[in-house]
Structure formats: C-alpha cells, structure tokens
Amino acid sequence: MAKILIVEDNFNNRLILHDILTFYKYEVLEAENGVAAIAIAKQEKPDLILMDLQMPSMDGFEALAAIRKETEIAVVPIIAVTASAMPADRAKVLAAGFDGYVTKPFEVKEIVDVVKQHLGDK
C-alpha cells in the first residue's frame, strides 16, 4: 500500500484529501505546514507528497527545497495543490521542481489520476 503525505494548513481540505485517498486504499499521513512535513517525510518516507503552496511557518516552495536536500527523501514525487490557476503559476510551480500540479477546488478524479500517474503500480 502506497503511503501519501498530505501537507495542507486548511483542515477541511486535508479532510477531503484524506477521505479520497483512504477510499482508494492509500495509507495517509498528514502535516499542517512545511516544517511538520519535512519531519514526517524524513521519519515515514512517503511514496508521494501532496503539498499546499500557501501555508504559515514555511510555504510549499520552501518545504520542497528542504525536502530535495534530504538524501533519503529527495526523489519522492511532490505534487503542488494550489488555488493559483493561471498558466504562469503552473510554469512557476513546475520550474521550482514540483513533479505535478493540481488546482483547488480539485475534483476526485483529478486527484486520483495524478496520484496514480506518479505512483505507478505502488
């Protein structure tokens, strides 16, 4: 069973993602901010991270950069989950090193498709 870390400061968004992913039989971990995400990722070594971009303490870009510096988790796919939906936003996110991009409000099919795409057969 693949392990997915949800990094999202909004409780309702975290709950929705949790419910979607557990329905599809993924193991789900949760973090409320980038600082917690790094600690959990180092300890739990998830197969995929869904990362909000705008969070207190440490935003998604900063958390991405910190995770990419950690040898044991540097290659974990990290998907940005954001309300920023302009074409320039997408380009900025992908240029920063995120492996994918999902806009809020998201649809169940979109989340499941992007997770399956990045996890393969895990």
pLDDT in tens, 82-122: 887 677 888 899 999 999 999 888 889 999 999 999 997 66
- Tell me the CATH number at 43: 3.40.50.2300
Across the chain, mean pLDDT equals 93
Burial level of 78, CB count in 10 A (0-12/13-18/19+)?
A: buried
Which domain range does residue 70 map to?
3-119
Find the mean pLDDT for residues 5-27.
Answer: 96
- How confident is residue 57, by pLDDT bands cut at 50, 70 and 90? confident
Return d(Cα 18, Cα 43) in angstroms, integer. Answer: 19
Number of structural domains (the chain) is: 1
Q: Is the pLDDT of residue 26 over 90?
A: yes
Find the mean pLDDT for residues 45-60.
Answer: 94
Evaluate whether 102 touches 83 at the Cβ level (below 8 Å). Answer: no
What confidence score (pLDDT) does residue 43 get? Answer: 97
Q: Which residues pair with 112 in a beta bridge?
A: none
Evaluate whether 61 touches 53 at the Cβ level (below 8 Å). Answer: yes
Find the mean pLDDT for residues 58-73.
Answer: 95
